[in-house]
Chains A and B, each alone.
Chain A
Amino acid sequence: MKTQLSILALASALGTAAHAEDKTLTISVYSFAQDEYKEALYDPFEQMCGCKLVVETGNSVERMAKIEANAADPVIDMAVISTQDALALARKDLIQPLDSAKLSNFDKLYDSAKDPVGDNMAVGYTYYATSIVYRSDLVDIASWSDLLGEDVAGQVALPNVTTTQGPLTLMMLGKSLGHEDDFGPVISEIGAHASDIVTFYSRSSELVQLMNQQEVIAAPVGRFAWASFKDAGLPFAWAEPEEGQAGGMNVMVMTKGNGNEELAYQFMDYWLSTEVQTKIGEMLVDSPANKEVELSPEAADNLTYGADVIESLNILPADEVLDKREGWVEQWNTEVIQ
């Protein structure tokens, strides 16, 4: 009898294990801070749902290419990307509208995070401010136009136009130079100052290194990189220019026809919960999009946090970036990096 019970128990355990393995959710995320995400999000979710989470990382272009290449039989269930990349996927009919009724934490989000690209195609999970980090002992930055001024000539870096930070910098320089609606004259102005610019960086880690080597003393950067500067030992400061700060948002999307929608909604909802958003915020990984999150003063100081800050951000509409980016890149290649 004992043997029969043991066999039954073993069979039942194996069955449960096999069932858990059957439930697999494949997500596509940015490569950074994976250890923190594992601790705050992935492991607790796997325990909660009794499922297996497959995490695919890479840069945006690679990850979007994978979603497009497998459109007929999606291998990715949900992805986190920028608003303009989400709109690009929506225009190619590769993602599906989200049903907010299936996200219990939806109402806790800031209004701008609820439908950032239109047609309920995405939901924001984190904000970031973009401003200028500078050496406060060497220079003073009061306006975005100071980036092209004499004080920082030969020691300033700008983000490449192909990066997410690139168009945001063009927008804010445009505000300071009086060209709010047309980036053409802004790119020409950068071209005229090209010899004063050390480099056009592609990754914030590249900039951190250049500023620590004192090669660069001022550059626009996303707030998510601020922690790397803060602890560097040099007197770095975060500018509050008179034109304000630029900003952006990363969003969650669901691939079309993945057949795993229920589990994907469950995961998205968990990520948007006050508990997870607080944990990830305290780890200084992502600034929360959930307005109920209350962060410690130290975390709040390092992130893009609070209704006042988020509502004051100058956000560039995703469709404008998507529709005009090719023209900006062409002009940039001709006038700036030629």
Chain B
Amino acid sequence: MFRNTREGLALALPAAIFSTLLFLVPVCILLSEAFRAGGSWSLQGYIDFFSTPLNRTVFLRTLKLGVLVAGTAAVIGYAAAFCIVNLGPKSRGKVFGMVVLPLMISPVARTYAWIVILGRTGIVNEAITGLGLSDTPLRLLFTETAVFLGLLQLFLPLMIISLVSAMENIPRDVIPAARVLGASWIAVFFKVILPLTKEGLVIGGTLVFTGALTAYITPAILGGSKVLMLETLLYQRVNVSNDFVSASVIAMILIVMSFSANLLLKRIATARS
């Protein structure tokens, strides 16, 4: 495309300088704090972090909710994506637009909607008490369930979009052929659809898992200080305790978790094929 490599480099240079100076350098400086103690290199920050019971609980909770959100999004996402790709072109455009629509609304607005839905006077509690399932309203806000629902709603569109893209590339006759040859729908999914959409699952899974790990607004609003996650704990460390070492340790843990999830999903996808 370019007459020589210089042209290509010249075009890439502004973006490279911008990313290096304003992203990589500050992030590396900040993260290096996590490996320093008393003026020398050390892993003491990590030892201190994991020796605190609260931090261990928060770490495991974040991991658990990340896996649950990504797993549930994959299950719902496959069903939704399968329906979307089998719609006619007009309907597909409309339904796909509806899937994308929430991404255009601020996460703050979307999360606040859950307060209205899950509150003591919200529609869920009104339905529960109206149907006589409970005499008093249930406490749904500031629970792990509330954070799970908020995160799932926030990131499900990313999974659906990734899986729709992957499913559109499946040859049209493959699934009917498998059915004609006697495969059950479960066999069709595990033997045909899943292997052919693994790239979409890896991309969607990474986006949803990483998003759920690093989301701040949703756990802060729906979980508060009773359901701390690593992101909300990081915010507390910086803004309440002014403890940048601990905050850097949390940031590094989040980065490692995100990269590990991506590698693991790729590994699983490769192993299946």
Q: B57 contacts which chain A residues (CB < 8 A)?
A: 338
Is B153 an interface residue when CB atoms closer than 8 A count as contact? no
Taken together as a complex, chains A and B put the C-alpha atoms of A206 and B225 apart, in Å, by 12
Is A160 an interface residue when CB atoms closer than 8 A count as contact? yes
Q: A200 contacts which chain B residues (CB < 8 A)?
A: 224-226
Asked whether A337 lies within 8 Å of B54 as measured between CB atoms, the reply is: yes
Q: Residue of A at shortest CB range from B238?
A: A61
Is A96 an interface residue when CB atoms closer than 8 A count as contact? no
Is B213 an interface residue when CB atoms closer than 8 A count as contact? no
- Quick one: which of B91-130 are within 8 Å of A by CB? 115-116, 119-121
Asked whether A162 lies within 8 Å of B141 as measured between CB atoms, the reply is: no
Asked whether B52 lies within 8 Å of A162 as measured between CB atoms, the reply is: no
Q: A202 contacts which chain B residues (CB < 8 A)?
A: 225, 240
Asked whether B139 lies within 8 Å of A198 as measured between CB atoms, the reply is: yes
Asked whether A338 lies within 8 Å of B53 as measured between CB atoms, the reply is: yes
Q: A199-B142, A214-B121, A338-B54 are in contact. Are A59 and B228 (CB under 8 A)?
A: no
Is A3 an interface residue when CB atoms closer than 8 A count as contact? no
Q: Which of A162, A214, A337 contacts B120 (CB 8 A)?
A: A214
Q: Which of A162, A197, A206, A213 contacts B240 (CB 8 A)?
A: A162
Taken together as a complex, chains A and B put the C-alpha atoms of A154 and B239 apart, in Å, by 28
Asked whether A337 lies within 8 Å of B228 as measured between CB atoms, the reply is: yes
Q: Residue of B at shortest CB range from A64?
A: B242
Taken together as a complex, chains A and B put the C-alpha atoms of A276 and B226 apart, in Å, by 41
Asked whether B225 lies within 8 Å of A213 as measured between CB atoms, the reply is: no
Task: Please tell me the size bucket of the interface on A.
Answer: 20 to 34
Q: Which of A62, A65, A215 contacts B119 (CB 8 A)?
A: A215
Q: Which of A213, A215, A333, A337 contacts B52 (CB 8 A)?
A: A333
Is A112 an interface residue when CB atoms closer than 8 A count as contact? no
Taken together as a complex, chains A and B put the C-alpha atoms of A194 and B224 apart, in Å, by 14
Is A201 an interface residue when CB atoms closer than 8 A count as contact? yes
Asked whether B53 lies within 8 Å of A334 as measured between CB atoms, the reply is: yes
Q: A334-B54, A337-B226 are in contact. Are A65 and B120 (CB under 8 A)?
A: no
Chain B interface residue count, Cβ-Cβ cutoff 8 angstroms: 22
Taken together as a complex, chains A and B put the C-alpha atoms of A201 and B142 apart, in Å, by 11
Q: B115 contacts which chain A residues (CB < 8 A)?
A: 213
Taken together as a complex, chains A and B put the C-alpha atoms of A113 and B33 apart, in Å, by 40
Q: Residue of B at shortest CB range from A194?
A: B226
Q: B142 contacts which chain A residues (CB < 8 A)?
A: 198-199
Asked whether A213 lies within 8 Å of B53 as measured between CB atoms, the reply is: no
Q: B225 contacts which chain A residues (CB < 8 A)?
A: 160, 199-202, 337
**Closest Cβ of chain A: how far from B256's Cβ, in Å?**
23
**Closest Cβ of chain B: how far from A36's Cβ, in Å?**
25
Q: A59-B239, A337-B225 are in contact. Are A213 and B121 (CB under 8 A)?
A: yes
- Quick one: which of A150-202 are within 8 Å of B by CB? 154-155, 160, 162, 194, 197-202
Asked whether A65 lies within 8 Å of B54 as measured between CB atoms, the reply is: no
Is B32 an interface residue when CB atoms closer than 8 A count as contact? no
Could you give, for residues 130-158 of chain A, a 1 whenever the CB lies within 8 Å of some chain B CB and a 0 otherwise?
Answer: 00000000000000000000000011000
**Closest Cβ of chain A: how far from B90's Cβ, in Å?**
41
**Closest Cβ of chain A: how far from B237's Cβ, in Å?**
10
Q: Residue of A at shortest CB range from B239?
A: A61
Q: B52 contacts which chain A residues (CB < 8 A)?
A: 333
Is B236 an interface residue when CB atoms closer than 8 A count as contact? yes
**Closest Cβ of chain B: how far from A243's Cβ, in Å?**
25
Q: Residue of B at shortest CB range from A217?
A: B120
**Closest Cβ of chain A: how far from B137's Cβ, in Å?**
9
Taken together as a complex, chains A and B put the C-alpha atoms of A67 and B17 apart, in Å, by 32
Taken together as a complex, chains A and B put the C-alpha atoms of A313 and B240 apart, in Å, by 26
Q: A160 contacts which chain B residues (CB < 8 A)?
A: 225
Asked whether A215 lies within 8 Å of B120 as measured between CB atoms, the reply is: yes
Taken together as a complex, chains A and B put the C-alpha atoms of A338 and B242 apart, in Å, by 21
Asked whether A62 lies within 8 Å of B54 as measured between CB atoms, the reply is: no
Is B241 an interface residue when CB atoms closer than 8 A count as contact? yes
Q: Which of A59, A64, A201, A215 contacts B141 (CB 8 A)?
A: A215
A199-B142, A213-B116, A333-B54 are known; give 5 further A-B pairs, CB within 8 A. A198-B142, A200-B225, A202-B240, A213-B115, A334-B54
- A-B contact list, 16 entries, CB within 8 Å: A65-B242, A154-B139, A162-B236, A194-B226, A198-B141, A199-B225, A199-B226, A200-B224, A200-B226, A201-B225, A202-B225, A202-B240, A214-B119, A215-B119, A338-B53, A338-B54
